[in-house]
């Protein structure tokens, strides 16, 4: 029953982490400048009614402890307050932004996995040759570039060829389904390519060292002795085991993906969650910033949990 123990432990840690994040969120934003009590109800141009409704909802006239309890209760109901900017509920804003972010981030991650795995395998297989030196140093090079700067470079290079901002062409009136998809595809390419290029370096290095380790195993020697083709050995025998650390790394790198998404969406005016963070910072839209931060934290914690459980499932050698 060690397995269940392990799963319970990880799930427990995730739950506690989310709870701590929620609490820190409460503390941080109650420390925000300006009158803390009116922070949530300080929606500009809000009617007296909305302001009053918010004050009652979040119990802003009560003690800090009571406020915390109310905050938790509202959170469970998905109520994160009202955005200063467009006076919509934060949760609605976040839902729209999240739906926009997901395809871009997913495509970017897929790019990085493909490039990273390929270059990593090549680097390990061609160990000690100039090919390895080139793949590893270019991986390190891209890894070193500031995310937003790489995005700007792609804009300079592809300006005129690919759209460099926004998610769709606003002048395209009533596009058909395929036309819309093509439009979206051309807009999504540069942001997700930026994410892919920034992320792939780490995959390359991990794939390379994992491959080197598996290539040293006895069963690889057996496979070679059997006279299998090198490519078959890589694909069927080495890569499968080498993919173990990669599966977890993918989930673990979600934190970096989130950071990258904020910078990339700012550069490419992609109307997703990262851009929402940027705009919330510019406008000092605290409810929005608070909600976005909470959503991002929970997403990262969940991804870490998935990584842990996945790794446990995939590699029975783990003993913790």
Interaction site with another protein (CB under 8 A): 13, 17, 20-21, 28-29, 31-33, 127, 140-141, 143-150, 152-153, 155-156, 159, 206, 209-210, 212-213, 215-217, 244-245, 248-249, 255, 258-259, 262-263, 266-267, 277-278, 280-282, 284, 286, 289-290, 292-293, 296-297, 300-301, 304, 311, 315, 317-320
CA atoms 201, 207, 212, 213: torsion sign: positive
- Distance, in Å, from the CA atom of 271 to the CA atom of 104, rounded to the nearest integer, reads 11
Residue number, 185 or 216, with CB nearest to another protein: 216
Residue number, 32 or 50, with CB nearest to another protein: 32
Least distance in angstroms from the C-beta of 140 to another protein: 6
- Distance, in Å, from the CA atom of 80 to the CA atom of 305, rounded to the nearest integer, reads 24
Cβ(195)–Cβ(264) below 8 Å? yes
Least distance in angstroms from the C-beta of 183 to another protein: 22
Residue number, 87 or 315, with CB nearest to another protein: 315
Residue number, 228 or 259, with CB nearest to another protein: 259
Cβ(257)–Cβ(105) below 8 Å? yes
* Of 185, 130, 133, nearest in space to 162 by CA: 185
Residue number, 134 or 184, with CB nearest to another protein: 134
Residue number, 154 or 176, with CB nearest to another protein: 154
Least distance in angstroms from the C-beta of 249 to another protein: 6
Least distance in angstroms from the C-beta of 225 to another protein: 14
Residue number, 174 or 319, with CB nearest to another protein: 319
Least distance in angstroms from the C-beta of 73 to another protein: 23
Cβ(139)–Cβ(200) below 8 Å? yes
Least distance in angstroms from the C-beta of 303 to another protein: 9
Q: Give CA separation, 282 vs 141, 234, 266, 277, 288, in Å.
A: 31, 50, 12, 9, 11
- Angle at alpha carbon of residue 238, lines to 233 and 240, rounded to 5°: 115
All residues at 6 or more sequence positions from 82 whose CB lies less than 8 Å from its CB, including other chains:
40, 43, 46, 50, 54, 88, 89, 90, 287
Residue 179 Cα to chain centre, angstroms: 28
Least distance in angstroms from the C-beta of 228 to another protein: 15
């Amino acid at each position: 029953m060690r397995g269940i123990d392990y799963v319970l432990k990880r799930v427990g840690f995730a739950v506690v982490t989310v709870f701590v994040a929620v609490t820190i969120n409460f503390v941080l934003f109650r420390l925000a400048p300006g009158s803390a009590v009116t922070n949530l109800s300080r929606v500009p141009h809000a009617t007296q009614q909305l302001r009053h409704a918010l004050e009652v909802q979040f119990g802003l006239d009560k003690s800090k402890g009571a406020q915390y309890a109310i905050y938790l209760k509202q959170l469970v109901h998905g109520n994160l307050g009202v955005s200063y900017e467009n006076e919509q509920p934060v949760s609605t804003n976040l839902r729209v932004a999240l739906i926009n972010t997901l395809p871009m981030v997913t495509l970017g991650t897929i790019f990085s996995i493909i490039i990273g795995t390929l270059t990593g395998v090549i680097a390990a297989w061609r160990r000690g040759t100039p090919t390895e030196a080139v793949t590893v140093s270019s991986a390190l090079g891209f890894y070193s570039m500031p995310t937003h700067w790489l995005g700007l470079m792609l804009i300079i290079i592809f300006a005129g060829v690919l759209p460099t901002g926004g998610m769709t062409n606003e002048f395209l009136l009533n596009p058909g389904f395929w036309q819309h998809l093509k439009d979206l595809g051309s807009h999504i390419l540069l942001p997700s390519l930026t994410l892919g290029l920034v992320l792939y370096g780490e995959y390359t290095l991990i794939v390379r060292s994992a491959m080197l380790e598996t290539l040293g195993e006895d069963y690889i020697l057996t496979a070679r002795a059997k006279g299998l083709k090198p490519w078959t050995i890589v694909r069927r025998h080495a890569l499968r085991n080498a993919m173990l650390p990669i599966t977890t790394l993918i989930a673990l790198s979600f934190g970096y993906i989130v950071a990258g998404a904020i910078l990339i969406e700012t550069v490419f005016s992609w109307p997703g969650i990262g851009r929402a963070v940027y705009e919330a910072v510019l406008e000092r839209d605290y409810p929005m910033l608070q909600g976005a931060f909470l959503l991002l934290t929970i997403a990262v914690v969940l991804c870490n949990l998935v990584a842990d459980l996945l790794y446990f499932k995939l590699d029975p050698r783990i003993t913790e």
